[in-house]
Structure 1
Amino acid sequence: MRVPCKTLLRYVMIACVAFHAVEPFIVDILVGGVAVWWGSRESCNPKWMEFNSTGLEVDLQRKMFGQHIASKVILKAVTGFMNNKNPKKPLVLSLHGWTGTGKNFVSHLIAENIYREGMRSGFVHIFTSELHFPHPSRLEIYKSQLQQWIKGNVTNCPRSLFIFDEMDKMQPGLIDSIKPYLDYYEKLDGVSYRQAIFIFLSNAGGEHINERALEFWKAGANREEIELKDLEMALSLSVFNNKKSGLWHTSLIDKNLVDYFVPFLPLEYRHVVMCAKAEMVSKGLKPDPNIADKVASDLVYFPKTERVFSVKGCKTIGHKLDYYT
């Protein structure tokens, strides 16, 4: 028997109200997902999701500044995974670096080049620690809800994207609850998770990345000479042993389920200028080098004497630009 769409929507909303008594945050996610589905009738098929490898490559080249390592790794990892018709496990990326270096932004680029609706897609799911998992006393409840949410959405669409922001603020042990879904299982309770993508965003490990970049700068070396091998192993160890990383002593690292630890380097003055120009273009303005230079000059840099790297990357560029334009 087919259930009318309006009736199905009503059932979902009733379930949301009942679930609200247990945990309010999950209702926000459910209602948001229903709203996207109801508004677009988005379906889990090639009409709504078709990977654009060339588009991702162009976006990384034109919109990502100062991140030669991240751009290269992400393009290869995502392209290889999406072109693999029979992956052995989900793609798991852990992105690390200080605020404003492009971690959230690159997650958006990935979504925009997989889903027709981009970040608006009902198959893209974002979790933030302080919003969705705020209470330490409810850790076990969060674990159960997170498992149910991921299982339900992958059942609905195997090609789902899950983004976990603020991993450095996440309660230790929470992310371990989804370990089975990231492992090399063909199916779990009849559900295959092998086509899903999981992205973790974290500031943890940022200091180590910055120190390495500063070492190269002091040695007079070009930052483009820094390679993944110079950072990845030390980065994974740093995150594993950091109680504030959200991945502290996690089995995800211990069992090698994270495919790539991707470092995001601190941005230099010239990169901030590029960000300002790109922001002008996005606002429909003609790039003005003088304004871009003024915006970049307003930011705080470190070390204080040399002023090499932007403390907040390009995070506040939009607001700064509003002042000058």
Structure 2
Amino acid sequence: MKTVFGEVCGYPSIRYDHDGLERNLQQKVFGQPFIQKLLLPLVDLHMDERYENRKALVLSFHGTPGSGKNYVAKILAESIFEKGMDSKFVHLFKPILHFSGQPPEILKFRLQQWIVGNVTSCQRQLFIFDEVNDMPEGILEAVKGFIDYNPRFGGLDFSKCIFIFLSNIAMIPINQRTLELWQDGTKRRDKLRHEDFMSIIIEHSFNEDGGFKKCKLITSRLIDAFIPFLPLERSHIESCIKVIADDYAMNSPLTPPMIDYIMESVEFTPKDLRLYSAHGCKNLDTPIKLVLMRYSRQMFDEL
């Protein structure tokens, strides 16, 4: 059996696992119907070697912090690259680290050079841009040439790349629209339509301060899907708690009273309905660890 040292531009370092992606999205991501409706089929088509891509796959995730945007990007990376987020073919950009302290033109040039350099080594690349709402206006214009149709420069083909943009842009109107539809009778999330959210996401992305403001990526229709991440309800938070606890609990599963205790630390909105978590599944680690620690000590004292 041949041993492969380090990552290679191909199998086994790059191997798309559709079943694993679908399973993880179903079992670990809650309350987000458009992940199954939009993300999964788009990734399937993009990764299918039987079809020639005309452009890079470009996705934009929008919603409240803690609603699952970064988590879904991580799951996607793990379904394509053996080392997941630690792969040299996966690149995470954050404004404070990569897009500050220099004039915009220099930052754009460096970004372009980074993309070209990596695609030169392997055409399968995943570029994740976090906190787009905090990026300087105009920076993302640097990637337009790489995600346009038939993007070939200097013998390089960028059509096998995936670009993902993560932001809180339009989270308030997304949450408000979700509440309006709930009040109008659409209680089941799988009955919500993407059309109910797309126009408000595009409008706010183009007009709000941040990396998308007046951006040609939007006016040129180069983003394949604007995916809304909806505010999470109580049942979704309880599911998040169970998944997070599995990483710590070992043989100490959470009991209903333990979950109730953790839920007391969660802030819900609006105040009169207490329907949605104000911070999604964020900030749950500490109360979960505290509950498990108390449980473990109690068990130890009873021995």
Q: Does structure 2 retain, via aligned residues, the 8 Å contact 1:216–1:223?
A: no
Aligned to 1:306: 273
1:226 to 192, 197, 220: 192
Tell me how far 1:287 sits from its aligned partner.
Answer: 3.5
Q: Does structure 2 retain, via aligned residues, the 8 Å contact 1:147–1:177?
A: yes
Is 1:52 aligned to 2:52, yes or no? no
Mean alpha-carbon deviation: is it higher for 167-176 or for 66-75? 66-75
Q: Which amino acid aligns with 2:246?
A: V
Aligned to 1:201: 166
Q: What secondary structure, in the 3-state scheme, does the structure 1 residue paired with 2:150 have?
A: coil
Aligned to 2:299: none
Aligned to 1:138: 103
Q: Deviations over 1:240-286 (max 9, x none)?
A: 12123x10111001100000000000001111111001111122342
4+ residue stretches of structure 1 with deviation over 3 A?
none
Aligned to 2:206: 240
Q: Does structure 2 retain, via aligned residues, the 8 Å contact 1:277–1:288?
A: no
The TM-score with structure 2 as length reference comes to 0.90
Q: How does 1:100-139 map to 2 (within 5 A)?
A: 100-135=66-101, 137-139=102-104
Q: Which amino acid aligns with 2:23?
A: V
Q: Deviations over 1:175-205 (max 9, x none)?
A: 0011000101241122110000000000001
Say how many residue pairs are matched. 285
Which runs of no fewer than 5 residues in structure 2 stay unpaired? Answer: 293-303
Is 1:216 aligned to 2:175, yes or no? no
1:166 to 110, 117, 131: 131
Q: Does structure 2 retain, via aligned residues, the 8 Å contact 1:98–1:312?
A: yes
Q: Which amino acid aligns with 1:110?
A: L
| Whole-angstrom distance in 2 between the partners of 1:132 and 1:71 | 31
1:253 to 210, 218, 243: 218
Mean alpha-carbon deviation: is it higher for 190-199 or for 314-323? 314-323
Tell me how far 1:234 sits from its aligned partner.
Answer: 2.3
Q: What secondary structure, in the 3-state scheme, does the structure 1 residue paired with 2:117 have?
A: helix
1:322 to 289, 294, 303: 289
Tell me how far 1:238 sits from its aligned partner.
Answer: 1.7
| Whole-angstrom distance in 1 between the partners of 2:135 and 2:188 | 31
| Whole-angstrom distance in 1 between the partners of 2:81 and 2:237 | 29
Aligned to 2:300: none
Aligned to 1:76: 41
Q: What secondary structure, in the 3-state scheme, does the structure 1 residue paired with 2:136 have?
A: coil
Q: Does structure 1 retain, via aligned residues, the 8 Å contact 2:25–2:35?
A: no
Q: What secondary structure, in the 3-state scheme, does the structure 1 residue paired with 2:129 have?
A: strand
| Whole-angstrom distance in 2 between the partners of 1:184 and 1:90 | 8
Aligned to 1:267: 232
Q: Does structure 1 retain, via aligned residues, the 8 Å contact 2:145–2:151?
A: no
| Whole-angstrom distance in 2 between the partners of 1:61 and 1:210 | 22
Q: Does structure 2 retain, via aligned residues, the 8 Å contact 1:213–1:223?
A: no
| Whole-angstrom distance in 2 between the partners of 1:254 and 1:289 | 49
Q: Does structure 1 retain, via aligned residues, the 8 Å contact 2:128–2:166?
A: yes
Q: Deviations over 1:44-76 (max 9, x none)?
A: 112211101111111111000111122321111
Aligned to 1:95: 61
Cα RMSD after superposing both structures: 1.5
Q: Compared with structure 1, are the counterparts of its residues 145 and 279 closer, same or farther at alpha carbon in structure 2 (3 Å cutoff)?
A: same
The TM-score with structure 1 as length reference comes to 0.85
- Whose RCO is larger (CA < 8 A, sep 6+)? 2
Q: Which amino acid aligns with 2:12?
A: K
Q: Compared with structure 1, are the counterparts of its residues 313 and 173 closer, same or farther at alpha carbon in structure 2 (3 Å cutoff)?
A: same
Aligned to 1:42: 7
Q: What secondary structure, in the 3-state scheme, does the structure 1 residue paired with 2:227 have?
A: strand
Q: Which amino acid aligns with 1:296?
A: M
Q: Deviations over 1:123-171 (max 9, x none)?
A: 0000001221123x52111101000000000111100000000000000
